[in-house]
């Protein structure tokens, strides 16, 4: 079976989408029947000009609190390109109200392929709450992907 690509989108590819990507990949690796690999991109990384370093310290702390090992070789935020959308088998944008307008403006016609969540950024929700919500969503998504694989094999 070939590995499938899951694409997480957020605004800056610094905090929420990066946490979702790393969490998903850790959980999927521990469940051999999930042949998916997550990547993440930002819809407007220029809006995160004041972000320091390659990844949010809150995302790293959230991963460590969950016992997920992290290294120091994080890549810097990556801007979404249409080719990223084209190769993705499933796409999740972290917050509908924030990301749908950006997606429609920058990549018209792609929104119908996107699953939208409703996880607020730090301006509205403390990181512990937002990351817990992302974790719940990621675990539910993994269950759905596992079940869809089982259904496809039946």
Q: How confident is the model at residue 150 (pLDDT cuts 50, 70, 90)?
A: very low
Evaluate if pTM is beyond 0.85: yes
The CATH number for 110's domain is 3.40.50.2300
How far, in Å, CA of 86 to CA of 89, rounded?
A: 8
Q: Please state the domain count of the chain.
A: 1
What mean pLDDT is predicted for residues 3-16? Answer: 95
For the chain, list the strands marked E by DSSP.
4-10, 36-42, 90-93, 114-116
Average pLDDT rounded to a whole number, residues 97-112? 97
Taking residues 20-49, what's their average pLDDT? 90
Check residue 68 and give left, alpha or beta (phi > 0: left; psi -120 to 50: alpha): beta
| Pair 122, 58: CB distance under 8 Å | yes
Query: Of the given ranges (83-87, 99-103, 112-116, 122-126), which has the lowest mean pLDDT?
Result: 122-126
pLDDT digits (tens, 9 = 90+) for 58-82: 999 999 999 998 887 788 999 999 9
Domain encompassing residue 43: 4-153
């Amino acid at each position: 079976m070939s590995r499938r690509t899951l694409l997480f989108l957020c605004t800056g590819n610094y905090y929420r989408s990066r946490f979702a990507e790393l969490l998903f990949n850790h959980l999927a690796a521990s469940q051999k029947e999930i042949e998916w690999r997550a990547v993440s991109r930002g819809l407007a990384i220029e809006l995160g000009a004041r972000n320091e370093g390659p990844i949010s310290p809150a995302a790293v702390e959230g991963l460590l609190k969950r016992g997920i090992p992290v290294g120091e070789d994080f890549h810097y935020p990556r801007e979404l390109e249409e080719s990223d959308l084209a190769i993705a088998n499933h796409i999740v944008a972290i917050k509908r109200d924030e990301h749908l307008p950006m997606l429609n403006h920058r990549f018209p016609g792609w929104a119908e392929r996107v699953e939208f969540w409703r996880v607020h950024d730090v301006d509205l929700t403390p990181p512990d709450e937002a990351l817990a919500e992302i974790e719940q969503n990621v675990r539910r998504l993994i269950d759905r992907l596992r079940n869809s694989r089982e259904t496809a094999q039946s």
